[in-house]
Amino acid sequence: MPPTLDTGNTAWMLTSTGLVLFMTIPGLALFYGGLVRTKNVLSVLMQCFSITAIVTLLWVAVGYSAVFTPGSPGLGAFIGGTEKAFLGGVSREALSGSVPESIFAMFQLTFAIITPALIIGAFAERMAFGAMLLLMALWSLVVYVPVAHWIWGGGWLQKMGALDFAGGIVVHVSAGVAGLVTCVYIGKRKGFPATPMPPHSLTLSVVGAGMLWVGWFGFNAGSALAANGQAGMAVTVTQISAATAAVVWTLIEWLRNGRPSTLGIITGAVAGLATITPASGYASPLGAIVIGAVAGAVCFYGATSLKRRFGYDDALDAFGVHGIGGLVGSVLTGVFAAKAAGGTEAIAIGRQVGVQVLACAATMVWSALATAVIIKVVDATVGIRVDEEKEMVGLDLSDHEERGYFY
């Protein structure tokens, strides 16, 4: 039977689209903005807003079509076609399942927006604005679009059975690896790690983290593409994982440092949200507790000990939280998705875990290599890092001649 419009599903997807956009502006903008120093807060907000605008145009022009159309017979496994460039054929009457295709396209756009926005946390306070725009535009087309097609658009990983309910691989693994490559290439902030660089406003960061937490319900439950039981369970496990990871992170920090911190609890919550994302459509409440606990412990290690050991300046822990969280959650999806599908035997779980590892590895390699090439191109054309004087003054003044706060 031909698809028919379901008004309940449509209402839910309209809501979810707004929630996921809310995660970037203002959620991620405030979360990241509060974590940088006062002289750079406006630059972070500007980066999030500008990414929202430029990725929207790229998505409408070519991104949506390249992800969600079959593509040519020879290349369709790796990239979609151009049949729906500039949303051609996405009319008022066109449906994607039981919702208007226009809503589906905009819902997917919000994922394409937040993914490159996550990367800016790795190189905060030291990349020129023009270089950031060019880097994010190219990265969206060269990395995000193909990976999304591989897993969500009928590409080769989806055909192999790779599972990523709401973006653990497509969003968090790809962005986390890109952030690591970028921060290593661009180098450390002047004075790091000898000079203390505490967040200028944890108040802003707590507000932003709260917005991310609420918005994540649209991120995960909206990926059911319907107002149904799977969406309801996705909301449930999202809440449980975030709470569990926040508690575990806080307890580890309390035992290790003698006191809990506000920064720790909000970072732990975001780690739990990122880690449950790929499994949110499959995990049970008990599974969410397991995933959240692992997220709190492993991401704490990634954002503290691992970073100090290798000495890279992942300023806002884009890799430590999103990269590692997405990787762990995507692998654990193989366990909980296999069980949800009735595959309780070890062989079923083992096979799905193997597919998940392959999907993560392919995404990590492609994101790392493509990001490195893009960075080289951007650096050779417009220069990627601000000079020492501009870095000392701060990007608010040096890039925008504005101040986020009165001094």
pLDDT at 342: 55
Per residue of the chain (407 residues), what is the pLDDT tens digit? 778 999 999 999 999 999 999 999 999 999 999 999 999 999 999 999 999 999 999 999 999 999 999 988 889 999 999 999 999 999 999 999 999 999 999 999 999 999 999 999 999 999 999 999 999 999 999 999 999 999 999 999 999 999 999 999 999 999 999 999 999 999 999 999 999 899 999 999 999 999 999 999 999 999 999 999 999 999 999 999 999 999 999 999 999 999 999 999 999 999 999 999 999 999 999 999 999 999 999 999 999 999 999 999 999 999 999 999 999 999 999 999 877 655 456 678 889 999 999 999 999 999 999 999 999 999 999 999 999 999 999 999 999 988 877 55
Distance CA 151, CA 191 (A): 41
Q: How far apart are CA 16 and CA 9, in angstroms?
A: 10
Q: Supply the DSSP string of 205-266, one letter for each residue.
A: HHHHHHHHHHHHHHHHHGGGSSSSHHHHHHHHHHHHHHHHHHHHHHHHHHHHHSS--HHHHH
Q: What is the set of domains in the chain, with CATH numbers?
A: 7-388 (1.10.3430.10)
**In DSSP terms, which residues pair with 85 in a beta bridge?**
none
What number of helices (H) and strands (E) belong to the chain? 18, 2
Yes or no: say if 215 and 30 are a contact pair by the CB < 8 Å rule: no
- CA-to-CA dists, residue 165 to 112, 278, 329, angstroms: 15, 5, 11
Closest Cα partner for 121 from 333, 287, 267, 280?
267
**What pLDDT, on the 0 to 100 scale, is given for residue 169?**
98
Q: Rounded to an integer, what distance in angstroms lies between the CA atom of residue 166 and that of residue 102?
A: 19
Alpha-carbon Rg of the chain, whole angstroms? 20
In the prediction, which pLDDT does 349 show? 87
Q: Hunting for tokens 């379901």 — which residue is that? A: 6
Q: What is the pLDDT of residue 289?
A: 97
Chain segment 58-117, per-residue pLDDT in tens:
999 999 999 999 988 889 999 999 999 999 999 999 999 999 999 999 999 999 999 999
In this prediction, residue 340 carries a pLDDT of 64
Kindly report, residue by residue over 192-203, the tens digit of the pLDDT: 999 989 999 999
Please give the span between the terminal C-alpha atoms of the chain, in angstroms, as a whole number: 65
Instruction: State the Cα–Cα distance between residues 217 and 213, nearest whole angstrom.
Output: 7
The DSSP output letter for 95 is E
For residues 54 and 139, the answer to whether their CB atoms sit within 8 Å is no
Rounded to whole angstroms, how far apart are CA atoms 308 and 300? 12
Judge whether 99 and 10 are in contact, CB under 8 Å: yes
Long-range contacts of 191-198 (CB under 8 A, 24+ apart): 192/313, 193/308, 193/311, 193/313, 197/37
